[in-house]
Amino acid sequence: DNYFVDGTVEIVFLPYDVTGDGYVGIDDIVAVAEQFGTSPGHPYWNSIFDINNDDYVGIDDIITVAEHFGQPYT
């Protein structure tokens, strides 16, 4: 419901940093690779790993994250 009472909210947008640590590293590549083959309806489906938004986590998603390896959040 997007209701927040107290504290600070930081919005970070680095679509290839699926782990949210502010850096595109090997952990991001591995996280996407672990979701390989999932799509909506699959028990492990999570759209955050579908980098190209085609409703399937495939090799193209893994490659796209790998192409951004080493990028920090700026």
Q: Work out the angle at residue 14's Cα, subtended by the Cα atoms of residues 32 and 55, and round it to the nearest 5 degrees.
A: 45
- The tokens of 4 are what? 């927040």
Residue identified by tokens 């790998």 is 66
Instruction: Name the pTM for this structure.
Output: 0.80
46 closest CA partner among 7, 19, 24: 19
Contact criterion met (CB below 8 Å) for 21 and 27: yes
The CA radius of gyration of the chain, in Å to the nearest whole number, is: 14
Q: Give the tens place of pLDDT for each residue, 12-60.
A: 567 899 998 889 999 999 999 999 999 999 999 999 999 999 999 999 9
**What was the pLDDT predicted at 8?**
74
